[in-house]
Amino acid sequence: MMTKVSQPRIEVSISAQSLSLFDGHRLVRTWACSTSKFGIGFEEGSNKTPLGGFVVAEKFGEEAESGTIFKARKPVGHWNPGDPAEEDLILTRILRLRGLEKRNANTFDRYIYIHGTNEEHRMGRRGSHGCVRMKNRDIIDLFDTVPEGTLVWIEE
């Protein structure tokens, strides 16, 4: 478990496939992540990861067991490592993003999240349907560290 930070900020690098947590200007931690396999974009239904400034608008999954499967942000089951999964599951925790710029203003309605995944082996490679995916233990650490209202920057 990480300690709380007083001025949290999240930065996602699509080129590096990494997510970094800052406390003000101090780097606290960096994790591998996975952004969209379809590239960068802002269009509804594109399954692309948007760029720019965002805020963590909502958090879901506090106290949920690691591997909890979410559909429409509600727990509906559990996935265990090694279980077969045909789809890109949303697991463990959800940080729902809201865009702060004209170009990414539809992000909240596109349901772009930072969340856990059943494809942990794909961290460091593009593989999502628009969201930023993290290993389940990593999203728990991040979720427990940042409050709603945390600023997020996603860059190429």
Give tens-digit pLDDT for 90-128: 999 999 999 999 999 999 999 999 999 999 999 999 999
How sure is the predictor about 75, in pLDDT bands with cuts at 50, 70 and 90? very high
Report the CATH architecture of 8-155.
Beta Barrel (2.40)
pLDDT at residue number 84: 80
Mean pLDDT of 43-57: 97
Please determine, for residue 15, whether its predicted confidence score (pLDDT) is greater than 90: yes
| Torsion of Cα atoms, 41 then 94 then 5 then 148, to 10° | 80
% of the chain beyond a pLDDT of 90 = 89
Kindly provide the b/e burial profile for residues 117-139, where b requires at least 16 CB atoms within 10 angstroms of the residue's own CB.
bbbbebbeebbbbbbbbbbbebb
- SS3 per-residue string spanning 78-104: ECCCCCCCCCCCEEEEEEEEEECCHHH
| pTM, entire model | 0.95
pLDDT at residue number 1: 56
**Residue 8 contacts by C-beta under 8 Å, 6 or more apart in sequence?**
21, 22, 23, 145, 146, 147, 150, 151
pLDDT at residue number 63: 93
How sure is the predictor about 3, in pLDDT bands with cuts at 50, 70 and 90? low
How sure is the predictor about 5, in pLDDT bands with cuts at 50, 70 and 90? confident
Tokens encoding 124: 């460091």
Domain layout of the chain by residue ranges: 8-155
